[in-house]
């Protein structure tokens, strides 16, 4: 009987913890009292000690298990995060395309196999450093849309790399969100929550919408936000932009651990975005003219070889030169002459079509390539450039021999001249331009 009562006490403690222990000790002592007719305090103490010992042992085992499960959960989470960082790092290293890079970052933050937030968006600092411009967003605008996307991804069994590589692109381009994000322009010359995050350099976790911050209220109203985190994207002291995350679908609270996991990714993203910006600037230095911003002569050779190598690819070319430019420089100085070259480049840009490409050939000579364009249309474009230059308000133009600043243009087309090398095509246009100069200037002559 004593052994059975001890087992009863132990099982009661295991099943019902302290309350079970107290109740079972009292019940066991009552059973002993009923059988013996004696209220043996020593037996009550023994039962109490057994109950206390079993309770301490079970609590110890339970705490060890909880701690073990907690560590296992943390290890699992860290393993997942490391896997995400590995896959994202691999994808980032494979591209120098900004749009592809941003897609990779946003996907890794929002995908279920990634960090698992419902929505993310990126705003980047403009070239002047005066405002943040919305670039891209990933995630739903409504709860219904969010669950629909999750269901589609689950059924398709997409992994993180699948989403990064764009297998879900056609269905999850998030057109509505991107349309809203790309319309954002947030000035940085006034205090707001984005400015605050960039200035502090630390993630800003917002759990309550402050209506006195007009920018924060705009985001909360436009994107239905109640809790969000802003991660500043800063690389070597340079403010690159901000990454914003929230959970509008499942309303899951964002924990400090969540913030830490995204912080590492945001730091990596900042470096990658800045790297692409620097690469773009270096590339521009290699292929563009430093004064006018037009493509340089080296780029012209590359473009000519590409287009002339295309089968049945008609290519027309316009070569132009400023009339009496030496007289202008001698009269007004080279600094003002450079200002005229810059303004002329702007006139050319505004006078040609989107698929036309303008180059500074050297000195005061410029070239425009017109792919898949016949000579008739090329002459029309050349005349438009000539007219726009003639009517443009160039500085000190009244000091020119004609009382205005003008250009002479030569036009050539591969369609009429047959198979020519790139140098031969430029030479034909050059001859036409010199003919325009010899026959009165300020005119268009075709070969």
Q: Is beta strand 357-362 parallel, antiparallel or unpaired with respect to 407-413?
A: unpaired
Report the alpha-carbon angle 174-177-180, nearest 5. 145
What is the radius of gyration, based on Cα positions, of the chain? 37
What angle do helix axes 98-110 and 41-93 make, rounded to 10 degrees? 170
As a whole number of angstroms, the distance between CA 89 and CA 378 comes to 47
Tally of CB atoms within 10 A around 189: 7
What angle do helix axes 325-332 and 334-351 make, rounded to 10 degrees? 140
- For CA atoms 243, 249, 254, 260, the dihedral sign is negative
- Can 364 be counted among the known catalytic residues? yes
The active-site residue out of 87, 168, 227, 364 is 364
As a whole number of angstroms, the distance between CA 376 and CA 64 comes to 86
As a whole number of angstroms, the distance between CA 150 and CA 130 comes to 37
Report the number of secondary-structure helices (H) and strands (E) in the chain.
15, 11
- Catalytic annotation, residues: 364
């Amino acid at each position: 009987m004593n052994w059975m009562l001890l087992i009863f006490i132990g099982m009661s403690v295991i099943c019902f913890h302290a309350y079970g222990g107290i109740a079972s000790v009292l019940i066991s002592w009552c059973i002993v009292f009923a059988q013996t007719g004696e209220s043996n305090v020593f037996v009550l103490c023994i039962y109490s000690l057994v109950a206390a010992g079993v309770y301490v042992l079970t609590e110890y085992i339970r705490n060890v298990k909880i701690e073990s499960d907690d560590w296992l959960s943390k290890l699992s989470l860290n393993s997942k995060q490391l896997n995400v960082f590995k896959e994202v790092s691999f994808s980032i290293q494979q591209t120098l395309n900004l749009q592809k890079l941003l897609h990779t970052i946003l996907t890794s933050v929002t995908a279920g196999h990634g960090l698992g937030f419902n929505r993310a968006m990126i705003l980047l600092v403009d070239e002047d450093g005066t405002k943040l411009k919305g670039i891209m967003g990933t995630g739903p605008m409504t709860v219904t849309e969010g669950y629909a996307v999750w269901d589609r991804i689950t059924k398709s069994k997409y992994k993180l790399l699948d989403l990064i590589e764009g297998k879900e692109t056609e269905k999850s381009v998030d057109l509505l969100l991107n349309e809203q994000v790309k319309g954002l322009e947030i000035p940085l010359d006034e205090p707001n929550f984005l400015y605050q995050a960039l200035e502090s350099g630390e993630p800003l976790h917002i759990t309550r919408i402050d209506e006195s911050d007009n920018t924060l209220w705009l985001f909360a109203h436009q994107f239905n936000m109640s809790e969000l985190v802003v991660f500043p994207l800063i690389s070597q002291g340079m403010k690159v932009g901000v990454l914003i995350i929230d959970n509008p679908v499942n309303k899951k609270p964002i924990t400090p651990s969540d913030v830490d996991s995204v912080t590492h990714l945001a730091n990596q993203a900042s470096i990658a975005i800045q790297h692409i910006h620097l690469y773009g600037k270096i590339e521009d230095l290699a292929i563009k003219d430093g004064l006018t911003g037009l493509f340089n002569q080296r780029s012209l050779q590359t473009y000519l070889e590409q287009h002339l190598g295309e089968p049945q690819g008609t290519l027309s070319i316009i070569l132009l030169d400023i009339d009496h430019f030496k007289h202008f420089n001698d009269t007004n100085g080279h600094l003002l002459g450079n200002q005229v070259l810059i303004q002329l480049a702007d006139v050319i840009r505004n006078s040609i079509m989107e698929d036309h490409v303008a180059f500074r050939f050297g000195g005061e000579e410029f070239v425009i390539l017109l792919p898949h364009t016949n000579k008739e249309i090329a002459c029309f474009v050349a005349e438009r450039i000539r007219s726009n230059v003639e009517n443009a308000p160039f500085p000190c133009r009244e000091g020119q021999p004609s009382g205005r600043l003008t250009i002479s243009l030569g036009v050539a087309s591969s369609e009429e001249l047959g198979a020519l090398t790139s140098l031969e095509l430029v030479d034909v246009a050059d001859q036409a331009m010199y003919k325009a100069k010899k026959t009165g200037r300020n005119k268009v002559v075709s070969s």
